[in-house]
A and B are shown apart, each in its own frame.
Chain A
Amino acid sequence: MPAQPISKENTSGKSADIAISVRNLRVRYGTREILHGVNFEVPAGETLVIMGGSGCGKSTLLRTLVGLEHPSEGEIWIQGKNFAGMSGTQRDDLRKKMGMSFQSGALFGSMTVGENVALPLREHTPLDESTIDIVVRLKLDQVGLSGFENYMPAQLSGGMKKRAAIARALAMDPEILFFDEPSAGLDPIIAAGLDELILKLKKAFRITIVVVTHELASAFLIADRMILLDKGVVAAKGTPEELRQNTGPRVRQFLDRVPEPEMAAEIDYLQMLTGENPPQRR
């Protein structure tokens, strides 16, 4: 069976050297629009860090990039191909090139760690069980979990669960990896270990990586580029150095950790409390 490498197709200037290109992306849940026209690019092999306040739409953006939410408008180009505009099977082929570790970790609690990592291989490849077993051990070794394949997720610490989820995201040797808050809720030493793992994956496998994180130190360590999402749009983007130099008030507020001002003035508190015409935050 022939391998199916992504061809270096070049359509209207969207080169395959750009792993991800997002144009005027709008996403809504029901009638409520969360992303109001987001634009950015990630060159192949680079790490993009997405920052922004809680609820601003970071996880929504990641889920849209891997095809779990559908844009109401705009384009997503993955490796030079129009991802959002593709047919089912083409999309599935491209999705096999992507791995995602979700915010909640999301290992299947009823399966061992090894079975969790094996799952994408069992579902999407013709590999023999004996080959899968070896791939599982290789991946667990890469995240520092050698020997834990027969543990149940409940028997792992928070940091180990995250790493197991990363091993699962790595199972198919993805070219693009998405991490939603990999280090949230972990102690600083384990969080630093995850940063190192991300740096290693990037350097060794030249994987394109998109990370959502609230940890500023981590963000500045791993990022080649950063974007700051605010109220559903990209408020700032650039290299870590450019963001450090950025004097925009929202950027400074976010990076210098200035607390949010009282919101009550902006919304009708009584209306909100009585459930009458709930205000739309944008």
Chain B
Amino acid sequence: MNISTRQFENAAIVDVTGDITLYNTPEVRKTLLDLLKEKRVKRVIVNLEKVKYIDSAGVASLVEGLKLSRDLKSGFALYGLSKTTREVLELTRLLKVFEVYDNEEEALSAIPGGAGGAK
């Protein structure tokens, strides 16, 4: 798995490549918490286009990011979910908890805190 960050004016996009699993998700968690807590990024967007599979621990790290963003009143969104990722989020009853977009453009142009994909 690879993880890198792109800074935009009011948001940061976290690009993840590869499977997110028990063994590497601490790195994802660290990146998300760092952006939200230390760098005080107003809106963190996770690009999952290149993630084929995410396990429960990976999902848990995203949940941590979401929780922290709520505490800090920042935004947190996901986009580019693969079929499997979508299924995993559905099974854990989290698909509707996250703000989910189809692509980068939508995720960036959505009004932070607005209805977005999280209906």
A residues neighboring B (CB under 8 Å): 1-5, 121, 124-128, 130-132, 134-135, 138-139, 141-142, 172-173, 204-205
Asked if A134 and B60 sit within 8 Å, CB to CB, the answer is yes
- Most B Cβ at <10 Å: residue of A124, A125, A138, A205: A138
Contact of B64 with A134 in the complex, beta carbons under 8 Å: yes
Interface residues of B, CB < 8 Å — how many? 23
- Chain B residues with CB under 8 Å of chain A are 1, 18-19, 21-27, 29, 55-57, 59-61, 63-64, 87, 91-93
A127→B55 CA distance, assembly (Å): 13
Instruction: Give which listed residue, B23, B56, B92, contacts A4 with CB less than 8 A.
Output: B23
Contact A131 B55 (CB under 8 A): no
Q: With both chains docked as a complex, state the minimum distance between the C-beta of B72 and any C-beta of chain A, in angstroms.
A: 15
Determine if A3 and B18 form an interchain contact, defined as CB atoms under 8 angstroms apart: yes
Q: Which of A5, A127, A172 contacts B26 (CB 8 A)?
A: A127
Contact yes or no, B24 A131, CB < 8 A: no
Q: How far is the CA of A205 from the CA of B27 in the complex (A)?
A: 24
Shortest CB distance A171–B (Å): 8
22 contacts between A and B (CB under 8 A): A1-B1, A1-B23, A2-B23, A3-B1, A3-B19, A3-B21, A3-B23, A3-B24, A121-B57, A124-B22, A125-B23, A130-B64, A131-B25, A131-B61, A131-B64, A134-B64, A135-B60, A138-B56, A138-B60, A139-B56, A142-B91, A173-B55
- B24–A127 touching, CB < 8 Å: no
Chain B residues near A121: list those with CB within 8 A.
Answer: 22, 57
| Residue of B1, B27, B61, B93 with highest tally of chain A CB at under 10 A | B61
CB-defined contacts of B24 to chain A, threshold 8 Å: 1-3
Residue of A nearest to B24 (CB): A1
A1 contact set on B, CB distance < 8 A:
1, 23-24, 27
Of the candidates A4, A127, A204, the one whose C-beta lies within 8 Å of that of B57 is A127
Please indicate the chain B residues that have their CB under 8 angstroms from the CB of A135 in the complex: 56-57, 60
Q: Please indicate the chain B residues that have their CB under 8 angstroms from the CB of A128 in the complex.
A: 26, 29
CB distance from A245 to the nearest CB of B (A): 36
**Residues in chain A near residue B63, CB distance under 8 A:** 134
